[in-house]
Chains A and B, each alone.
Chain A
């Protein structure tokens, strides 16, 4: 079985720009979550999608948005990038909304300059 894959692995953007990060869920998983991990910190929950509907959101502003597609792949979009958005963005997927634990991708390292 394939794991969770994320693209790109690294990205450099300028403050004010917009960025789209992509995630392919593990085969058969219908739940996908996104997390932001700042340097030296634990991951923080951004939002979760279950069967293409957002069903949970952390303490992040509306300029963080997402989509889940019929094949359960997902996108994270961030508008009006700020320097503090620099972080590792992790995608995680699950079959049972996390009851069996989440499978994480290797992440996208976003640097905002």
Chain B
């Protein structure tokens, strides 16, 4: 079975500060990992994904994440927060690596607040 744990339901940073959102996963097969962002009253937008290959992946809006197999982590970072980054962020794992159907298992989300 697969699962995702997002540490911290709410993270607050100052504008221009480093953003670090933590995600740990559990998977019995090579994981496909995703980060999504959700703005109020909207659906989910894909920020970035890890499938195979390079463990440091870059996404949209200056975000990046590093897959660390030994730590079963896929933390999301951005060097300098912007007010427009305030939203809820979801980490997700897929079982596609094991040849399954590829549905997503989501964490509970981390709400990011950015202070001026």
- List residues of A whose CB falls within 8 A of some B CB: 4, 31, 33, 35, 40-45, 48, 50, 55-56, 58, 90, 92, 94, 97-107
Contacts and interface: CB of A to CB of B under 8 A. Distances in A.
Interface residues of B, number: 26
B116 to A, nearest CB: 26
B34 interface: yes
A31 B45 CA distance: 17
Contacts of A40: 108-109
A42 B108 contact: yes
Nearest to B91: A42
Contacts of B45: 104
A101 B103 contact: no
B56 interface: no
A104 B36 contact: yes
A99 B107 CA distance: 19
B67 interface: no
B102 A98 contact: yes
A43 B91 CA distance: 11
